[in-house]
A and B are shown apart, each in its own frame.
Chain A
Amino acid sequence: MESISPFISSSPAPRYAPPWQDLSIIGIAGSSGSGKTSVAMEIVKSLNLPWVVILVMDSFYKTLSAEEHLKAHANEYDFDCPDSIDFDLLVQTLRDLKKGKKANIPVYSFADHQRQSHTTTLYSPRVIILEGILALHDPRIVEMLDVKIFVEADMDVCLGRRVLRDVRERGRDIEGIIKQWFAFVKPSYTRYVEPQRPISDIIIPRGIENTTAIDMVVKHIQRKLQDKSDRHTEELNRLGLIAAEVEFPSNVHVLPSTPQLIGMNTILQNPATEQEDFIFYFDRLASILIEKALDMTLYVSANVETPQGNPYIGLHPKGTVSAVAILRGGSCIETALKRSIPDCVTGRVLIQTNECSGEPELHYLKLPAQLEEHATVILMDSQMSSGGAALMAVRILLDHGVEQDRIVFVTCAAGERGLKRLTAVFPRINVIVGRIEEEGEPRWIEKRYFGC
């Protein structure tokens, strides 16, 4: 008899890959003082996009022991050999980012030669420029790189730049700098840095002055980004087609069409409605949505006593309810939110739809600390049509450790197709919708609410 194969109760949900999941990494190596940083900065400046980030390998220096610390202060510690860098941590960080996960980048203090207790969070870049003398050293990293750049400059120029930089920015004395140069930097160049040259894709001589080379790199990255955008848009369309077939799951709640609700929706949709009235009725409608959303949070039985001493078995909410507004539309709902929870912890995420491609783009993200521990996270948007922004925002919450069933997405109006796509990809999130609107409705509620 054959063994029974594992039974899968339901087919897995269609996956949504945000555009930052397939991250491009560009490695820039070269001698100290060759102008790597300037080249990296120039590339970022030319691209002028919020999701291009420079990752400096100096952040991954190992923390020095007491003995090494003394050596470092005497300029006798070799910061230029591969052993001084925590490559394992760097590889892990890059792998996490490549998967679209959030990564904590260590902060290294040159004054104390120590990794600081705090870290910088890096999330959702689409391009990372990894810059360091040994950026192309570790084969595990080289394998992940999309473009390998080697910046070259005359060694005299390198030394000159290094002296200036270390004196100005790192508060060191010239004697120490020269000592370190001849003891470590120069030997290390021959031993570790220079051998990276043949494996690079592009060699940029004269660093920042070489505008032709920088321009080529920028064009290459722009092409890559365009490919990614096209793939993302295509992916969104594909998910929309899959989802069109399914029914709304039971955790999607469309408010019942009561006379008052229809009446409010009529006032809101009437262009003749004054701004003042629009805000009043919008806040009133949003308050109903928020109260409904609070039904989705966790409650525990609670025994209380009334002033006359009678017992009553009721409920208390359990845990924190926080909110995240998808800007700018989601902030329309904040007035209503604060009516029910005046001190609600609120995060914000700015997702803009690219006017040319229609692709949602993440521009800004500020989430409350310990979001993953909150009982409920209310995700707010005034309106959702195709649901690209909502899809991205839910993905962001999941990447920050929030469980699907703790998310309540609240919106005043939603297109059916977008809503189905959202719940097909994230079947366990809760959704509260004021009204199902026509497909492809442009965002107009936030314009009316804010008056611009």
Chain B
Amino acid sequence: MASKPESAPSPAQGVGPMYRPDGEKPTATVSKDVSYENVHVLPQTPQLIALLTMIRDKRTARADFIFYSNRIIRLLVEEGLNHLPVVEQSVTTPVGRAYLGVKFEGKICGVSIMRAGEAMEQGLRDCCRSVRIGKILIQRDEETCMPKLFYDKLPADIAERWVLLLDPMFATGGSATLAVETLKERGVPEHRILFLNLIASPSGVAEFAERFPKLRVVTAFVDQGLDEKKYIIPGLGDFGDRYYTL
């Protein structure tokens, strides 16, 4: 890895519908490019950028923060679900026509990394009504300063399921890495884990993608980098605080 990848500025470009000439598109900072096949960044549409702008803005009140982050999370879930397998199914439509479609194959479950990840459960349920949701609590160990697993409650048959792992902010990726290792210990194969994330740091996501090459990451935005305290910049502050308490 390059010595200081974090300081590289994020790309700024005109954002807008394809058919509009560049001069008519407003300029905004968009996600950094990530060259890993297993990392999928949502299309940087003006709509997505506007939603992210709302939740980054420190003046956005909690109710609006919740509303706008839920909308982004739904977009993430919709994109994430596209990585699940389907099998062909043909139906006869209400007007008597044959339609060759597909059927969703395989059971899924959500696993949220507490507490910020739990904020993504609503968005997941908006798209998958009765999905089972497991929880993992990971905290920083005061002595070793390393992330430590404090609690987990997962479906008993998790090894047979596809897992949508939820955590909105991905900085160094310590918690996410430990969560994936926990899932693998429970018998979930790496390729059946989808990590859904709002904002990621470029170094964190790169390291994660290399460590778990079969796992897929779906994120809305790869940010500029990390500051000296390992916070994502520009980021959006503490997601859990802004969603639950501020």
Contact = CB atoms under 8 A, between A and B. Distances in A.
Contacts of A448: 94
B231 interface: yes
B236 interface: yes
A263 B26 contact: no
A251 B99 CA distance: 27
Contacts of B59: 304
A6 interface: no
Interface string A419-445: 000000000001000000010011010
Interface string A291-320: 110111101111011111011111111000
Contacts of A260: 78, 81-82, 84
B56 A314 contact: yes
Contacts of B81: 260
Nearest to A405: B20
B95 interface: yes
Contacts of B84: 259-260
B237 A301 contact: no
A314 B102 contact: no
Given A262-B101, A263-B86, A263-B104, A313 B74 contact: no
B53 A302 contact: yes
Nearest to B97: A438
B46 interface: yes
Interface residues of B, number: 55
Nearest to A296: B17
Contact of B71 (A262, A263, A340): A340
A295 B242 CA distance: 26
A287 B74 contact: yes
A304 B57 contact: yes
Nearest to B81: A260
A288 interface: yes
A284 interface: yes
B51 to A, nearest CB: 9
Interface stretch (A100-108, A186-194, A265-273): A265-273
B138 to A, nearest CB: 22
Contact of A312 (B56, B92, B242): B56
A280 interface: yes
Interface in A64-117: none
Max chain B C-beta neighbours (<10 A), residue from A251, A284, A315? A315
Contact of B26 (A266, A300, A340): A300
A291 B47 contact: yes
Nearest to A310: B234
B202 interface: no
Q: Which 6 A-B pairs have the closest CB atoms?
A: A266-B101, A314-B53, A307-B237, A310-B234, A304-B57, A250-B19
Given A295-B16, A299-B28, A306-B234, 11 more contacts: A251-B17, A259-B85, A265-B99, A265-B101, A269-B93, A270-B91, A307-B237, A311-B234, A312-B53, A316-B53, A447-B94
12 contacts: A260-B84, A270-B93, A291-B47, A296-B17, A301-B28, A304-B59, A308-B235, A312-B53, A313-B12, A315-B15, A315-B46, A315-B50
Interface of A: 250-251, 258-260, 262-263, 265-266, 269-272, 280, 284, 287-288, 291-292, 294-297, 299-302, 304-308, 310-317, 339-340, 342, 430, 438, 441-442, 444, 447-448
